[in-house]
Each structure stands twice: as C-alpha cells, then as structure tokens.
C-alpha cells in the first residue's frame, strides 16, 4: 500500500512540473555530474542501469541540438555475455546504431559468479566540447546557487 501511495504522490509531483528546456538541461547536468566523466572536451556517461542511460540520453537529446553521428558507445562485457546480443540490447536502449559502437571491452572474470540478467556496462560518449562545457557550467552554477561551494 505504501509503495502505491508513494508512486501516486510522485506522479502528482512529476505531472505538475513544467519541464522547460532549461529544466531539462539542469536535470541532464546533474545526472552527468553523478555518472559522467569530468573531462570538459567531450561527454561520457557510464552505467549498467539501462533506465538511467535511457533517461540521461532522453534529457540530453531533449535539451540540446545534437548531431547523432557524434555518439559512440563502448560496452564492457564479461566472458559469459554474447557480444552481439548485448550490443543489440544497448543499441535499442540508447538509440545509437551498432555501427557507432567500439569493439567491446572484455572484463576478466574469475568464472565463479555470473549475474543473471546483467546487461554489462556501457559508456556512451558524445563528442562536442560546447555541450560538455555547458553541462559543467550548469552544474557549477547550480552548486554555487545552493551555497555548497
């Protein structure tokens, strides 16, 4: 019951937030700061959580004018993964064509344990210094405005 009540409350909050382009950019900057690289010459966002990757890319695409050809993806897999299957999965999640994926990185695995339904980890890169610097500036100014820095 509590979960349903919390979801209903969350729905009411979310549905009433008008997401302007600036709100979308700020949400994207906050997510990038948590899970992204801190190199301001390009963006990289890494996670094994498909929902997190999908949300970040949705915000990035919604907040900025992007050139889809500037995306690259690198999948980190264990020996028990099927590379083609995992690339297809991540391509559907990211909406990045497999032709823009690098050769997968094979992690060493002791073979003692496998994670059922673990999709591997993906690092999505977008090569645009202007957008990378804007996200960094948004995060920094948001932080300053909260008196944290």
Between 46 and 105, whose confidence is greater? 46
pLDDT at 21 over 70: yes
What span, in angstroms and rounded, lies between the C-alpha atoms of 111 and 55? 32
Structure tokens at 34: 């948590």
Residues ≥6 apart with Cβ < 8 Å to 25: 59, 63, 64, 134, 135, 138
Query: Can you give the pLDDT at residue 17?
Result: 87
pLDDT single digits (tens) 66-115: 999 999 999 988 777 678 788 999 999 999 999 999 988 677 766 666 66
| pLDDT for residue 112 | 62
Rounded Cα distance, 96 and 116, in Å? 25
Domains defined for the chain, CATH in brackets = 21-145 (3.30.1330)
Angle at 111 between CA 108 and CA 114, to 5 degrees: 95
For residue range 107-117, list pLDDT tens digits in order: 776 666 666 66
For residues 8-22, average pLDDT: 89
Beta bridge partners of 71: 126
């Amino acid at each position: 019951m509590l979960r349903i009540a919390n979801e209903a409350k969350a729905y009411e909050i979310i549905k009433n937030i008008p997401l302007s382009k600036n709100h979308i950019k700020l949400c994207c900057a906050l997510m990038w700061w948590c899970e992204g690289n801190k190199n301001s010459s390009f963006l990289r966002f890494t996670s094994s959580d498909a929902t997190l990757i999908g949300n970040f890319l949705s915000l990035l695409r919604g907040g900025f004018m992007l050139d889809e050809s500037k995306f690259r993806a690198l999948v980190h897999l264990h020996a028990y993964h099927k590379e083609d299957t995992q690339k297809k999965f991540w391509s559907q999640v990211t909406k990045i064509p497999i032709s823009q994926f690098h050769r997968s990185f094979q992690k060493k695995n002791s073979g003692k344990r496998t994670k059922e339904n673990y999709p591997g980890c993906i690092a999505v890169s977008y090569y645009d210094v202007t957008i990378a610097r804007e996200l960094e500036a948004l995060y920094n100014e948001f932080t300053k405005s909260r008196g944290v820095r």
